[in-house]
């Protein structure tokens, strides 16, 4: 089973728990005092389909309910082990990611929003997040006494796409590490890549993943609000 599969990751989590808090009572005690960050999950599943240009871009919609259900069952699994506070993040605005902007570039201005992101892919992320919020609601109903917190990574990330200068970012759509292609793409982020001088002025690191600066903006929005339905610093 590939290491990026949720089943594998949950299995690894349980193996570590058995080492550091052996026995059912020990595991329950440790998890009851811990914050569990469950995700973000689903991005790699969707990337698999979206990177395959032979498939219709609508294909991932068919699998979205299965992905949401698996996230929900995974969270429930951790609750059953004894977790009392779980953060469940939504997906990022993938229509603003350089590898998507380059790979799905069009000449139709109507395909882009006012920030230069691809509308269709951001709507897709929002649909995933809408369904995930509903799943979080069901988990809360089934588990009174457990804090299941939804983290709006999408909204938090849009802060630096809407107002990049406020966060000291020059162009949030361009990768720091890559090539001379559109959005800083054109080659992988390796020893031969073109690397920016100051990553703190970029939101994207390697065309897919974000920089420390970008993650700090997201973390602040989740810790202090308004991008968690219970700001994390008030939940623990």
Q: Is the peptide bond before 144 cis (omega within 30 degrees of 0)?
A: no
Question: In DSSP terms, which residues pair with 35 in a beta bridge?
Answer: 85
Angle CA 210–134–160, to nearest 5: 25
What tokens were used for 157?
A: 């990330």
Of residues 81, 79, 92, 86, the one with CA closest to residue 37: 86
- 213, 169 in Cβ contact below 8 A? yes
d(CA 185, CA 208): 10
Give the model's pLDDT for residue 3: 57
Burial 139-155 (b: 16+ CB within 10 A, else e): beeebeebebbbbbbbb
Give the model's pLDDT for residue 2: 56
Give the residue carrying structure tokens 């990751």: 9
Give the model's pLDDT for residue 4: 67
Of residues 112, 12, 131, the one with CA closest to residue 64: 131
Give the model's pLDDT for residue 118: 98
Model pLDDT for residues 187-215, shown as the tens digit of each residue: 999 999 999 999 999 999 999 999 999 99
Domain 23-223 in CATH 3.40.50.11540: no
d(CA 229, CA 236): 13
- 179, 193 in Cβ contact below 8 A? yes
* Residue 221: HSE in the Cβ half-sphere, 13 Å Cα cutoff: 21
Model pLDDT for residues 27-57, shown as the tens digit of each residue: 999 999 999 999 999 998 998 888 877 778 8
Look at the chain and count its residues: 236
For the chain, residues with pLDDT lower than 70 are 1-4, 236
């Amino acid at each position: 089973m590939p290491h990026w599969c949720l089943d594998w990751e949950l299995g690894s989590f349980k193996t570590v728990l058995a080492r550091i808090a052996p026995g059912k009572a020990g595991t329950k005690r440790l998890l009851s005092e811990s914050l569990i960050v469950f995700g973000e999950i689903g991005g790699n599943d969707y990337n698999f389909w979206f990177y395959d240009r032979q498939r219709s871009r609508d294909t991932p919609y068919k699998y979205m309910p299965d992905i949401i259900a698996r996230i929900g069952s995974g969270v429930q699994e951790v609750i059953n082990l004894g977790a009392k506070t779980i953060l469940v993040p939504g997906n990022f605005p993938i229509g603003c990611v350089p590898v998507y902007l380059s790979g799905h570039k069009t000449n139709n201005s109507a395909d882009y929003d006012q920030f230069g992101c691809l509308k269709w892919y951001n709507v897709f992320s929002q649909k995933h997040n809408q369904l995930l919020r509903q799943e979080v609601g069901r988990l809360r109903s089934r588990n009174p006494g457990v804090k299941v917190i939804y983290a709006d990574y999408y909204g938090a990330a849009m802060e630096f796409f809407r107002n990049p200068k406020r966060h000291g970012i020059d162009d949030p759509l361009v990768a720091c590490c890559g090539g001379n292609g559109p959005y800083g793409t054109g080659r992988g982020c390796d020893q031969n890549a073109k690397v920016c001088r100051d990553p703190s002025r970029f939101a994207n690191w390697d065309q897919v993943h974000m920089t420390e600066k970008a993650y700090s903006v997201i973390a602040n929005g989740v810790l202090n609000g308004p991008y968690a339905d219970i700001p994390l610093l008030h939940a623990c």
